[in-house]
A = this chain, B = another copy of it.
Amino acid sequence: MSVSGGGRLPAALDAAMTALNASVHIDSALWREDIAGSIAHARGLARIGVLSDEEAQQIVAGLQQIAGEIERGEFHWDVDKEDVHMNIESRLTALVPAGAKLHTGRSRNDQIATDLRLWARRRAAELEQALLELAGVLLRRAEEHLDLLMPAYTHLQRAQPSRVSHHLMAWQELLWRDLGRLRDAARRLNESPLGAGAVAGSGFALDRAGVASELGFERPMRNSLDATASRDFLMELGSALAILAVHLSRIGEELVIWSTEEFGFVRLSDRFTTSSSMMPQKKNPDVAELVRGRAARVIGDAVSLLVLEKSLSFGYGRDLQEDKPPIFAAAESVLVCVRALSGAIDSMTFNAARLRAALGAGHMCATDVADQLVKLGVPFRNAHHTVGALVRRAEELGVQIDQLPRSEVRAIHPELTEELIDSMFSVEAAVERRQGIGGPARVRVQEAIADARVRWGLSE
């Protein structure tokens, strides 16, 4: 006995299901990968005798023709055929009768997993290339500005003297690790699901290893259930993209702050700013703000991917259709942000006068005074307190500590000579004293740039 609901379905509800179900407007972005996977599968089927050599050749030719049609914009994508796979297979079968045999030993479940892995590998490579360009820009600008000093900030308060190139090299370090994450993700995902079938493998003696090899995969995936139902490669890529986007957003935040009239450290090129519809004098750092904004979206995309898989039982569930919009959007957002930032940083102008002026305030030498006292034998905590007293005294007098009456300074410690005082009050000397590995001394930054050139594989 069963109790039916009757057929009172209004048209809008049917339309909603159609809208929910259709994916071709999204997954058609995978056409290159879908065709590459099908070609490899066809050749594999020929090797095990399911297709004759002639059939395989016809199928391959048909698929190549379809690729051409899509590239030239001549292909008719049909939403009624639901997804990229059915659109291409349907066209193929119209072109080549043997196309009806192509799906032998394959399921859409291993097919889409293959497409997505090929896609992810390609996008990771493009991102890697874009990161190389950005690193190249940073290294070049660091070299150009090797002698330009600036304050290092903590808590957005002036802290200690440093140099512009050291700051740019810090950005580069973050990106270097981002590159590592991308490469790790791309390496880990480079396995072939083809041959895993819908969930439990195939009854045909498919040449999984050969197909994997032809597609540039390192190996076939080791478990058919895992191969079709897992998307951790997308979660991992999404997370790597989110971390990278956070880094770009941090750079963006700095560009916004540095572009203010109050800081005035940099001036972005007109190509990366816009004016205002109401205030013609404005020169807004849009590139930097848009990068920050995109980062928010990439974080949301990464969250979508994590949430999507949470609590999914095995194997493949249709929920996984929804993995494509967030990962596609995240990859595109990050790629465009890396490139736009490359252009913005490449073309921006540093204002040496404002950078210099910023060094002359904020008691930038306080740490160096404390260090000097320590070198004269004062325990660090005591030296720290002494400098605190100097700063308070300077603020009473409305000056920076390096403008305090020398008599007051000399009174701190009997061994404090004029020469020592001059040295500890010089920002140039202060930066040069920071000679340790990873410090802002000129020679250290030069070495860091050279080392980075080698690591990134960027010739000068």
Cβ–Cβ contact B339 & A13, under 8 A: yes
Cβ–Cβ contact A154 & B317, under 8 A: yes
Which 4 A-B residue pairings sit nearest by Cβ, starting from the closest? A300-B304, A201-B439, A13-B343, A16-B339
Cβ–Cβ contact A381 & B93, under 8 A: yes
Cβ–Cβ contact A253 & B223, under 8 A: no
A205: chain B residues at CB < 8 Å are 435-436
- A5 CB–B CB distance under 8 Å: yes
A272: chain B residues at CB < 8 Å are 17
**Segment 343-360 of A: residues with Cβ below 8 Å from B:** 343-353, 358
Cβ–Cβ contact A289 & B319, under 8 A: yes
Cβ–Cβ contact A256 & B154, under 8 A: no
A154: chain B residues at CB < 8 Å are 109, 198-199, 228, 276, 279, 282, 284, 315-317
Cβ–Cβ contact A308 & B319, under 8 A: no
Q: Which of B133, B166, B277, B338 contacts A225 (CB 8 A)?
A: B166
A370: chain B residues at CB < 8 Å are 278, 280
A169: chain B residues at CB < 8 Å are 222-223, 226
Q: Which of B246, B254, B352, B366 contacts A3 (CB 8 A)?
A: B352
Determine the residue in chain B with the shortest Cβ distance to A178. B232
Given contact pairs A2-B350, A3-B350, A312 touches B250 in the complex (Cβ within 8 A): yes
Cβ–Cβ contact A284 & B353, under 8 A: no
Cβ–Cβ contact A160 & B262, under 8 A: no
A166: chain B residues at CB < 8 Å are 200, 223-225
| A106 to B154 Cα, complex, angstroms | 15
A249: chain B residues at CB < 8 Å are 310-311
Cβ–Cβ contact A170 & B229, under 8 A: yes
How does the 8 Å CB contact mask read for A287-303 relative to B, with 1 for contact and 0 for none?
A: 10111111111011111
A347: chain B residues at CB < 8 Å are 5-9
- A78 CB–B CB distance under 8 Å: no
Cβ–Cβ contact B20 & A337, under 8 A: yes
